[in-house]
Amino acid sequence: MNKDHPEVNFGKTGVLIINLGTPDSTNWWDIRKYLKEFLSDRRVIELNPIIWQVILNLFILTFRPSKTAHAYKKIWMKDTNQSPLMYFTVNQTRKLRDVLGSEKLIVDFAMRYGNPSIKLKLKSLKEAGCENIIILPLYPQYAAATTATVCDEVYRSLMKMRWQPSLQIVPHYESHPSYISALVNSIEKKILEINWKPDLIICSYHGIPKSYFDKGDPYHCYCHKTTRLIKEKFNKIDIQTTFQSRFGPQEWLTPYTDKTIEELPKKGIKNLLVLCPGFASDCVETLEEINIQGKESFLENGGENFDLIPCLNDNNDHINLFEKLVRKYL
């Protein structure tokens, strides 16, 4: 090589797993910064951007950070000073790296919102010699507000590269046999751990506004497909689909998880398990919204037993699924 030629790393493949994101801390300003980035995404909020930015900056970002910080403080991992989502994403990355095990393969993670950013990690992989990069969005059920916005950010980052790597994006995996088996195994494991029999299992997915569904977003269908496939492999207890985490006054996908949990005891459902199949890691939506708020609501309205089935997190079934999804592109 010409001695004047700059040193170039090459010949490697990168695997970048991408989750939603998390604040850096429970500090008000960190929460506000995270919410601003998240709620400024036009895939997430499809209102007129000029009007929305006024509402967001004058009202929502003035009052909501305190409420969100309160929720995060309930589930924050004080010993490691990180959110559960960050903890499990780091572990998922490490375990997938160990399983794939190759000097020519670099496995890393990024967050769509917050740190570490997609832009930063793509740049890092490219500089490390990755000529091919495989993107694994940790969203089993495709939605424009999740999978598509990850792809948008990946493409925006590549637009600024003079020498772009080749790119493969792992598609949604709501019906992958290993994913369904992992969820069923998690249900059976929880049932063995508790000393009561559930009357019902709720599969609670993150909601989206109904208007997004009306415009053609397939997310609703993919959620119901996952539940149907779970029920085909596990038919000992009835399973129902609901949608959580709605935001704002407009109608979202129904039935709502919080309203369902509140009403079930009046219908004779006294013993309830909740599974959140759409979340790759336990997070504020599962640990605080479901396992704290949801549990309190259920018991206050006459329920007797309530438990949350952990997300797949960094368990072996989940890592096995990731390996299968990625190896297809190696």
Tell whether 31 and 139 lie within a shared domain: yes
CATH code: domain of residue 35: 3.40.50.1400
Tell whether 210 and 261 lie within a shared domain: yes
* Whether residue 7 has pLDDT greater than 80: no
Return left, alpha or beta for 143; rule: phi > 0 is left, psi -120 to 50 is alpha, else beta: beta
Residue 6: inside a domain: no
Tell whether 167 and 187 lie within a shared domain: no
Tell whether 181 and 111 lie within a shared domain: no
Transcribe 278-315 into DSSP letters: T-SS--HIIIIIIIIIIHHHHHHTT--EEEEPPP-TT-
Q: What is the mean pLDDT of residues 64-91?
A: 98
* Whether residue 5 has pLDDT greater than 70: no
Containing domain of residue 158, as a range? 12-173+318-327
Tell whether 45 and 167 lie within a shared domain: yes
Give the per-residue pLDDT at 101.
Answer: 83
Q: What is the mean pLDDT of residues 20-29?
A: 98
Which residue's entry shows tokens 């903890």? 87
* Two tokens, residue 200: 């019902």
227 HSE (CA, 13 A, CB side): 21
Tell whether 166 and 19 lie within a shared domain: yes
The conformation of residue 265, written as its DSSP 8-state character, comes to G
Report the alpha-carbon distance of residue 278 to residue 138 in Å, rounded.
Answer: 9
Best CA proximity match to 172, nearest among 86, 85, 277, 59: 277
Residue 4: inside a domain: no
3-state secondary structure string, 75-120? HCECCCCECHHHHHHHHHHHHHHHHHCCCCEEEEEEEEEECCEHHH
Looking at every residue in the chain, the average pLDDT score rounds to 97
Q: What is the pLDDT of residues 246-272, one digit of tens each?
A: 998 999 999 999 999 999 999 999 999
* Length of the chain in terms of residues written: 330
Report the alpha-carbon distance of residue 326 to residue 127 in Å, rounded.
Answer: 21
Q: What is the mean pLDDT of residues 77-83?
A: 97
Q: What is the pLDDT of residues 139-192, one digit of tens each?
A: 999 999 999 999 999 999 999 899 999 999 999 999 999 999 999 999 999 999
Place 10 in a pLDDT band, splitting at 50, 70 and 90: confident
Residue 3: inside a domain: no
Tell whether 158 and 190 lie within a shared domain: no
Tell whether 38 and 146 lie within a shared domain: yes
Residue 126: inside a domain: yes
Q: What is the pLDDT of residues 120-136, one digit of tens each?
A: 999 999 999 999 999 99
Residue 62: inside a domain: yes
Tell whether 26 and 150 lie within a shared domain: yes
